[in-house]
Chain A
Amino acid sequence: MKRDGVSHWPLHLFLLVMVVVTIYPVLFVITIAFSGGQALSIVDLPPDPGIADRLRAITPWPETVSTENFRSLFADQPFSRWLLNSVIISAATTFMGVMLSSTAAYAFSRFRFPGRRAGLMMFLVSQMFPGTLMMIPLYIIIVKWLGLGSTYMSLVLMYSVTAIPFCVWMMKGYFDTIPKELEESALIDGASQATIFFRIVLPLARPAVAVTALFSFMTAWNEFIQAATFMDREDMYTAPVGLRFFVSGFSEQWGYFAAGAIIAAIPVVLLFLFLQKYLVSGLTAGAVKG
């Protein structure tokens, strides 16, 4: 294990410590979720605990392994409803996001028209606006003026426009790499603009569409602040708002929270691990240009 006169063992030690720090909270959540109870502590400590008791109390393994929390989460709590809300909102956001950004990106990539540069700049500039500055006017416009508080529509609209700029820039980059000749020959064969876009370009851009869709989905699925602000009615909570509901104020239902957190996190964690290289390049590219 030696090379260039440097031992790898210190590196492994360092990395192992960091890995423990990293995965401990994750293991902790899993432990609580499978403990079958609502308590935040892993074990009940005796009145005068010794070192061994305390070590047991931080070991992420439940006293009894049980899936009761998961069963009860769906049977006794409105979590399935919240999850359904999240699924509906995220799916609608994904659809809106992909439709709006793929069409716009296609036009920006293929056509030269007055206002093209201004339009592209608009998407970049919008990334600089701070969230809270938008939140108050959005709240007044959507809840007070349009009366869309506690509706799917309010969140879908906001999430879509949050995702659009990133998606437009990413898809535009991909469309730029598709040779124009394909469309030109289709045009000669008598295809209409709509046919060309939906039957030729979009299928060719499937990887970019997939990434855009997944990005939109994650944006909507993970969002907490706007959902907490705009969804007042308990039956309209999304999963994040509902999970917080379990452990906020005087409510201390950590078992439900942990079980729900695992269910809500697994899809996005997997998606993320799959998507991360696109996200990194997109984010840093956007930062440099903006």
Chain B
Amino acid sequence: MDSDQPAPASHRRRFLIGLAVAALFAAAFGAFLLGVAREGARRDAEERRSVVQLLALTDLVDRAGGQPAAAEEPSYGLGEELPPVDVPAEGTVPDTGGGLGDELAALDAGADSAETPDPGAATRQAVAAFAAAHPEVKAIRVVLFDGLLLEASTALEDLDEKAGEKAAPRRLERDEKPLYDLGQQLRAAVEGNREGQEGEAREEEIAAERLSGGLLRLSAPMERGGAPVGMVQMDTLVETPETRGAGFPWLAALLAVLAPVGLFFLISLALGERRALLATLAAVLLLVSLSAFALWSTRTLAADRRAAAEATAAAVKAEGERSIAQLAELGLPSDPPPAPETWDADRYRQPRGLVQAGQAGATVDQDRLDHESHQDAGRVHRAVITLSLIALVLLLYVGLGWAARTGAALVEHRYAYTYTVPALAAMLLLVFLPFFYGVALSFTNANVYNTDKSIFETWVGLDNFVEIVRDIGVAEQTPDGISWNYQSFYWTLGFTIVWTAANVVIGVSVGLLLALALNTKDLAFRPIYRVLLILPWAVPTYITALVWKGMFHKQFGVMNQILQIFGFDPVSWYDHPFTSFLAVLTTNGWLSFSFMMVVSLGALQSIPADLYEAARVDGATRWQQFLSITLPSIRPALIPAIILSVIWTFNQFIVIFLVSAGEPGGSTEILITKAYRIAFEQYRYGYAAAYSVIIFLILLAYGTWQNRVTRATEAIGE
């Protein structure tokens, strides 16, 4: 099995290097992915524990806010000055330098005057008690929409020197508008989700934000009587230097590289220079080591998940007990009793169901945990299979000597590659990558809000295409006759076809007639005519379009003046689909005949004159000469020009976009202007990409068909 040519490098060495490269690549990439996954899981777990606390706090605040005292709550109008609030903290805090304990003392003082009709006192009390019980919670803010109130706050900046003015409760200040906006966003999400249909995309009801210094800021809506009236925000310290870093598995990765390479070295000593055997051995070792690494990764992830779930369960249990104690302490109603198991919720405030309430407090639901670990394993497997394939390709690429050959070719043709690489790289990056990305986008529901998500997260399969193709409600029978749905894909498609056909017919016939006229022998002023008639092609299209848009102006446009000279009524061009179509057709006819004229003229001039003389001798009429000499001779030039102008007109964006702008009601939209509007006015990128893919397919089908027809007719002609 030795190679048929004497290779300078031995197969053994090549496969050893190939295996090392492949294993290094796979292990490094795999370890990186695992590190990212673990880091994500860790952050997830932190967030979950914090969400439990947040929802416990929200529960507490909700109960406190529902106190009878709140019934007398005066409503502060937005324009009014805030009434002087009887702030318990006033006077007690200023000299403290902002410690939480002092704030607590202040609030305790406030609790004594619980009879005052201050609605927020109970809330502040509850917040303070919660903060005291949770040292890792660094700041809590409670915002009320009614009166733009900061109802309670333990944030240090609200308790500083000027606490007399800054301490809660007070009105939100101008620079705290983001706080209010966030609350309104959550309120909108809650209300939207409540009204939304089953299965509709839900909005997140808990906002999370990472702050510097290891703080996690979570915000949840606060509800009273089932309606969101405010927001509870909590900053928790979740990361300390002690929490593990990236969790990058150095040892396992190193082992996954060294073990197969070492084994290969040892075994290959016995195998010698047998290529097939060496290749098999290297591949097997690579796959085994990758599988082992995958197995280990799955285990690690499962262990992480279990630990996280148990920690959450512990948190739920602790919060539940603490909550009951605090309710009793604060004298708040404990009916209905708090349901701590629902506090382990996702961002939509839907309980995850991983933690169950039982006799012994909260326990982890084993089945669900297994299910989630199983999903992890599936993800690991997919990643490892992909990695293995790439690694195998790498191994064979190096091992079979292709890498060496590529390197040699690169060196040998280095000039050629240096010259071509800039242009090719630019094309790949700005033409081919966008093209394939666009095709991929057509399978997603990407829109302006989720462009930072990966394609896989927004993947919807063929939904966009199905929606477009099933958009068949073009016409509807109403008592007043047929009403057309201009938004339908098929209306736009039909309009585009009519538009293209009409324009090409006009362009070709006018262009050909002019070319025939100009081709007349000894015609006076021919060069002048030619230059003047070529002008429309020379003028930038956007200028032409805007000028014609002006000339079709209902009140001041020249077209209506001309109509009125002939005794017609002025026409409101863009108010009816047909007149609007005439306007765009005229514009495009004006700018497109020159091209056809130039092409036809060039072809006509290349016909030898003796052909016509021979025909005249044979007694052919002019019409016969045209049919049997002129047309066949100019066809080779005319057909590509027609193909080009079909494609140009089909994609004639500027005329439609600038002249009629689709008026009235989108009826004169062609496919590509429609796609543009969907993308850049409705911001539905995925749907617009699907539209564009369909346009591409239509053009591709047209091109193929046209090619075949052209070839068939050529075959007949010959």
Contact = CB atoms under 8 A, between A and B. Distances in A.
A139 B441 CA distance: 12
Interface in B683-701: 685, 688-689, 691-693, 695-696, 699-700
Interface stretch (A64-72, A73-81, A130-138, A206-214): A130-138
Contacts of A244: 542, 546, 658
B679 A135 contact: yes
Chain B binding surface, main DSSP class: helix
Interface in A144-160: 144-145, 157-158, 160
Contacts of A224: 540-542, 654
Contacts of B514: 15, 18
B621 interface: no
Contacts of A117: none
B417 A113 contact: yes
Contacts of A170: none
Nearest to B688: A136
B427 A161 contact: yes
A160 B427 CA distance: 9
Interface residues of A, number: 92
Contact of B534 (A108, A161, A165, A273): A273
B466 interface: no
B240 interface: no
A145 B509 CA distance: 47
B615 interface: no
B423 A103 contact: yes
A198 B96 CA distance: 76
Given A168-B423, A225-B653, A11 B517 contact: yes
B578 interface: no
A130 B535 contact: no
Tier of interface size on chain B: 35 or more
Nearest to B685: A136
A176 B513 CA distance: 37
B426 A107 contact: no
Chain A binding surface, main DSSP class: helix
A88 interface: no
B437 A141 contact: yes
A268 B558 contact: no
Nearest to A134: B434
B536 interface: yes
Residue picked from B438, B531, B675, B691, most chain A C-beta under 10 Å? B438
A188 interface: no
B397 interface: no
B564 interface: yes
Contacts of B700: 128
A28 B420 contact: no
B432 A126 contact: yes
Interface stretch (B319-327, B342-350, B495-503, B548-556): B548-556
Contacts of A261: 543, 546-547
A113 B409 contact: yes
A106 B419 contact: yes
Nearest to B510: A18
A178 to B, nearest CB: 15
A91 B510 CA distance: 37
B424 A133 contact: no
Interface in A95-111: 99-101, 103-104, 106-108, 110-111
A133 B692 contact: yes
Contact of B693 (A58, A111, A133, A247): A133
A247 B546 CA distance: 8
B651 A130 contact: yes
Contacts of A165: 427
A203 interface: no
B520 A8 contact: yes
Contact of A129 (B513, B517, B696): B696
Contact of B420 (A108, A157, A229, A247): A108
B547 A140 contact: no
Interface string B485-519: 00000000000000000000000001001100110
Given A114-B413, A136-B441, A264-B543, A104 B550 contact: no
A158 B429 CA distance: 10
B644 interface: yes
B546 A26 contact: no
Contact of B430 (A133, A136, A138, A240): A138
Given A11-B520, A39-B556, A103-B420, A243 B542 contact: yes
Contact of A222 (B517, B541, B657): B541
Interface string B24-49: 00000000000000000000000000
A193 interface: yes
B523 A8 contact: yes
B537 interface: yes
A164 interface: yes
Given A29-B547, A137-B437, A119 B676 contact: no
A174 interface: no
A19 B532 contact: yes
A130 B422 contact: no
A185 interface: no
A114 B451 CA distance: 38
B539 interface: yes
Interface string B643-655: 1100000010110
B434 A138 contact: yes
Interface string B429-472: 01111110111010000100001100000000000000000000
A177 interface: no
A58 B562 contact: yes
A112 B658 CA distance: 47
Contacts of B699: 128, 130
Contacts of A276: 534, 537-538, 598
A272 interface: yes
Nearest to A164: B423
A138 B685 CA distance: 11
A40 interface: yes
B431 A161 contact: yes
B529 interface: yes
Contact of B438 (A18, A51, A107, A134): A134
Given A21-B590, A40-B557, A257 B413 contact: no
B438 A25 contact: no
A136 B520 contact: no
Contact of B532 (A23, A29, A141): A23
A113 B416 contact: yes
Contacts of A128: 699-700, 703
A123 B427 contact: yes
A99 B699 CA distance: 32
Nearest to B440: A137
B377 interface: no
Contacts of A132: 653, 672, 675-676, 679, 688, 691-692, 695
19 contacts: A1-B524, A42-B558, A58-B561, A103-B423, A104-B419, A111-B413, A129-B696, A131-B651, A132-B688, A136-B679, A136-B689, A145-B451, A161-B431, A164-B426, A222-B540, A225-B654, A272-B538, A284-B641, A288-B640
Query: Which 8 residue pairs spanning A and B have beta carbons closest together?
Result: A107-B419, A133-B692, A104-B423, A111-B416, A113-B413, A272-B538, A137-B434, A287-B640
Given A130-B699, A222-B542, 8 more contacts: A8-B524, A122-B427, A133-B696, A140-B685, A164-B427, A244-B658, A264-B540, A284-B599
